[in-house]
Amino acid sequence: MAFAGRLGWSALSLGVFVALWWIAALVVDSRLLPDPPTVVRALVVAAETGELIFNLLVTLARVAASFAIAMLVGSALGILLGLSRTADRLLSPWVVLFLNLPALVIIILAYVWFGLNESAAILAVAINKIPNVAVTLREGAVALSRDLAEMARIYRFGRWKTLRHVILPQLAPFFAAAARSGLALVWKIVLVVELLGRPNGVGFELQSSFQLFDVATILAYALAFGMIVQAIELGLIQPWERAANRWRR
């Protein structure tokens, strides 16, 4: 099966990566480049103290909150920009501005203006992501079919039916694209936000390990979180996308 084949290739490719890493670690032979077993041991240690799970959950909660806000606000904004020429003319320079504002600037300003608290952290991440979502969904809204909108109007679909059966299915690929690139961006930025101004989470843990030059723990956390994000991609986004694309030839 194609899926098994793809899985096989992924496994092979990851295996080669781990092998190269292991060889490099053996050659360098330094605490600063631990070999895979050392990283796994660090992972187990962190897991046993319960710190790993706690920090992962905290970070995941932040990712979920800022991701949800960014998708909601970004989609609404993007659809508005796509449907209204006036709104597009008025607001797209802002979108471009925020799109190009470095994440770090937004984070620092959020902390400075709103204090070192949870809302500021989540807001900072969301603001970083909103322009991306808006730009993607704007493409989707611009491409909405007029033919189908007219059809829905003549057949008196009403607002809810039109949204559910005509508009949202057309936007689904754009939601998926925004969600996918969004997840990757959001979790990276959440770590930075945690590193700069939160007393817990993966980002905070990484900073503590950084100060101790504890590379094994850094890699252990990166590995754990990377796997979670991969699981979300494989277990949530891809199945949803497949279901949404069932109708395609």
Residues in contact with another protein by the rule CB under 8 A: 147-148, 150-151, 153-157, 161, 165-166, 169, 244, 246-249
Nearer CB in complex with another protein: 29/147: 147
**Angle at which helices 51-83 and 36-48 cross, to 10°:** 100
**124 Cβ contact list (under 8 Å, min separation 6):** 106, 107, 109, 110, 111, 189, 193
Question: Closest CB to another protein among 6 and 165?
Answer: 165
Query: Closer to another protein at the Cβ: 113 or 247?
Result: 247
**Helix (H), strand (E), coil (C) string for 90-129:** HHHHHHHHHHHCCHHHHHHHHHHHHCCCHHHHHHHHHHHH
DSSP letter (8 states) at residue 218: H
Nearer to another protein, 48 or 147 (CB): 147
Q: How far is the CB of 152 from another protein (least distance, A)?
A: 9
Instruction: Tell the smallest beta-carbon distance from residue 247 to another protein (Å).
Output: 4
Give min distance, CB of 169 to another protein, in A.
4
CB of 91 to another protein, least distance (A): 25
Check if the beta carbon of residue 209 is closer than 8 Å to that of residue 217.
yes
CB closer to another protein, 3 vs 247: 247
What sections of 143-214 are H helices per DSSP? 146-154, 158-161, 168-197, 202-211
User: How far apart are the C-alpha atoms of 75 and 61, rounded to whole Å?
Assistant: 21
Q: How far is the CB of 171 from another protein (least distance, A)?
A: 11
